[in-house]
Amino acid sequence: MQPINEIKLEFLSKSSNEAFARVVAAAFVSQIDPTLEELADVKTAVSEAVTNAVIHGYENSQGLIRMHCKLFCDAVEIIISDDGVGIEDIELARQPLYTSKPDMDRSGMGFTVMESFMDIVEVTSKPGEGTTVYMFKTFKSLIK
Amino acid sequence: MQPINEIKLEFLSKSSNEAFARVVAAAFVSQIDPTLEELADVKTAVSEAVTNAVIHGYENSQGLIRMHCKLFCDAVEIIISDDGVGIEDIELARQPLYTSKPDMDRSGMGFTVMESFMDIVEVTSKPGEGTTVYMFKTFKSLIK
Amino acid sequence: MIAGVVGELDHHSADYIRQKLDAELVKASNKNIIFDLSKMSFMDSSGIGIIMGRYKNIQKLGGKASLVGLSDQSRRIFEMSGLLKIVPAYETIDEALKNM
Amino acid sequence: MIAGVVGELDHHSADYIRQKLDAELVKASNKNIIFDLSKMSFMDSSGIGIIMGRYKNIQKLGGKASLVGLSDQSRRIFEMSGLLKIVPAYETIDEALKNM
Ligand SMILES: Nc1ncnc2c1ncn2[C@@H]1O[C@H](COP(=O)(O)OP(=O)(O)O)[C@@H](O)[C@H]1O
Ligand SMILES: Nc1ncnc2c1ncn2[C@@H]1O[C@H](COP(=O)(O)OP(=O)(O)O)[C@@H](O)[C@H]1O
């Protein structure tokens, strides 16, 4: 399957870039005209993955976050990665309500939200090297 | 002068990405809250440079366009580059009303518009290798 | 107290919203709170932590919390986390007030 | 003929807008055209080519062209190119009609 469009974005791990990354993903995806709800799903999933890179990956220190998006006629692939601390136990991290930062009002629902709003969520990580979140969503409204 | 934020974007030379690049630049720059008119200036300049990469740089064939933005407390630096055909005579190209594609309803005013809407516009190019447009704008509304 | 959240609620805005809410809660005589989310344009899972954190604080003082004006998105997020079981959601502020 | 441009006018949308305009011009009995840009949300230098191209076509047929509803941005762009000297801009459609 050939993507009809593709972008790569690199940005600093600043919390103000959480909203920025959402806007970029939404602007990119709206080229194929999904419903507003589908667009909100993508924005939410991107927000979760980027926020995780900012607060967990880089623990609020400065680093680079990458977002790689491929657009298909009725679907989008989004890969968000950081070179931060990484995740020791991915299975544990993905469990609903698990968070390593409960003190910070984190709910531990980030991965669960991504899974619920996207069709596929895959996490790869190496402690000390970084984390990559692969997400894929088909827009039901666009399937012919 | 340290930038307060920085992004790098890479995208395909498709005409639909002209609007996309404008939205990204505007979303990035609005973090420092310039006036709507200043924001429109930046969008217009980005539109010109990206359009040039699409139609002149890659002559509507597929290639990669890069946009590198640095945000300061009252200014923005934007570098847009392509690996396209390049420009033989930059001085001639920058002249108002000069266009190599008059048949395509091009006006030859792209560089002039960039110069008028940004404070600094610098063009470097090598025939066969590509073109880089460096732009800088201080937002008068934000100067303290 | 009725607390309206306007705009986007994410990790970036959470700090500001948390401070505002806590400052208002300290001043408020009544320790019940209704979160009016009808003007909230975006929320991710950071919203759960904000609501949950405020709920825990007022609960200690015998206060109750409820939600009003949920979008489909935010309802789904709150539902997933089980939050709606302890902080109920209502259609209108009137309804929320009646059930306080 | 009054031609309203709605939305963004850039290189990407120019093809579509050009085709639409040319199709309407072929049908029109009257070869004068007023471009109403009051609903145009963005324009870059691609707008110059579009207006200039249409102007040249109708001029051959003895038609006149004018512009209405310019934003500060589009006015600056047209001014730079010298276009306003041959395609005048007016405040209102009425005024443009009077000067046709
Ligand atoms: N990019 C990342 N880098 C390092 N650790 C991460 C990353 N993303 C998630 N984690 C770990 O996984 C846990 C669960 O993440 P998540 O479900 O999003 O909940 P929350 O962000 O609320 O903690 C986090 O608490 C953190 O320990
Ligand atoms: N990225 C680029 N790659 C190759 N040639 C370019 C590029 N940008 C501009 N040019 C050359 O410079 C000329 C003038 O550009 P410009 O002032 O933007 O006017 P226009 O785009 O209307 O032709 C173009 O016609 C083209 O020959």
| Every domain of chain D and the residues it spans | 2-98
- Nearest ligand, CA B109: 2
pLDDT bucket at B1, cuts 50 / 70 / 90: confident
Q: What is the pLDDT of residue C24?
A: 87
DSSP at A127: T
ipTM summary value = 0.91
Q: Which of B17, B22, B38, B48 is catalytic?
A: B48
Ligand 2 centroid–CA B58 distance in Å is: 11
CA distances from A2 to A9, A68, A118 (A): 20, 15, 20
Distances, alpha carbon A135 to alpha carbons A41, A49, B70, C46, in Å: 12, 10, 28, 20
Instruction: Name the DSSP letter for residue B125.
Output: E
Which chain B residue's Cα is nearest to D12? B15
Whether domain B5-142 has CATH 3.30.1180.20: the reply is no
Residue B19 has a pLDDT of 97
Please pick, among B17, B18, B22, B52, the residue that the annotation labels catalytic.
Answer: B52
Per the listing, tokens 């200014």 go with: B75
Residue whose Cα lies nearest atom 22 of ligand 2: it is B108
Of C44 and C25, which is predicted with more confidence? C44
Q: Sign (positive/negative) of CA torsion D86, D88, D93, D98?
A: negative
The atom of ligand 2 lying closest to the CA of B106 is 22
- Dist CA D47 CA D67 (whole Å): 12
Q: Does the domain made of D2-98 have the CATH classification 3.30.750.24?
A: yes
B93-102, C35-44, C47-56, D18-27: least confident range: D18-27
- Mean of the per-residue pLDDT values for chain B? 96
Residue D39 sits at the chain B interface (C-beta within 8 Å): no
pLDDT band (50, 70, 90) for residue D13: very high
Sequence-separated contacts (24+) of B14-18 with Cβ below 8 Å: B14/A5, B14/B54, B14/B62, B15/B51, B15/B54, B15/B55, B15/B60, B15/D11, B15/D12, B16/A5, B16/A31, B16/D12, B17/A5, B17/A7, B17/B50, B17/B54, B17/B65, B18/B47, B18/B50, B18/B51, B18/B54, B18/D10, B18/D11, B18/D12
Residue A112 CA: nearest ligand 1 atom is: 17
pLDDT score of A144: 79
Pairwise CA distance, residues D37 & D6, whole Å: 7
- Percent of chain A at pLDDT > 90 equals 93
Distance to chain A for C13, nearest Cα, Å: 9
The pTM of this model reads: 0.93
Residue A1 has pLDDT above 80, yes or no: no
A31/B contact by beta carbon, under 8 A: yes
Section B18-32 average pLDDT? 97
What's the pLDDT score for residue A96?
95
C75 contacts chain A (CB < 8 A): no
- Give the closest-approach CA distance of A23 to chain B in angstroms: 7
Question: Under an 8 A CB cutoff, do B107 and D49 touch?
Answer: yes
Is B69 within 8 Å of B81 (Cβ atoms)? no
Closest approach of chain A CAs to the CA of C91, in angstroms? 20
The alpha helices in A53-107, defined as continuous H runs, are 90-94
The residue-averaged pLDDT of C30-48 equals 94
Atom of ligand 1 nearest to the CA of A133: 1
Name the one residue in this structure whose structure tokens are 């977002």.
A67
Of A17, A52, A60, A115, which residue is the catalytic one?
A: A52
Ligand 2, pocket residues at CB < 6 Å: B 48, 52-53, 56-57, 82, 84-87, 93, 98-101, 106-111, 131; D 45
Question: Does the pLDDT at position A73 exceed 90?
Answer: yes
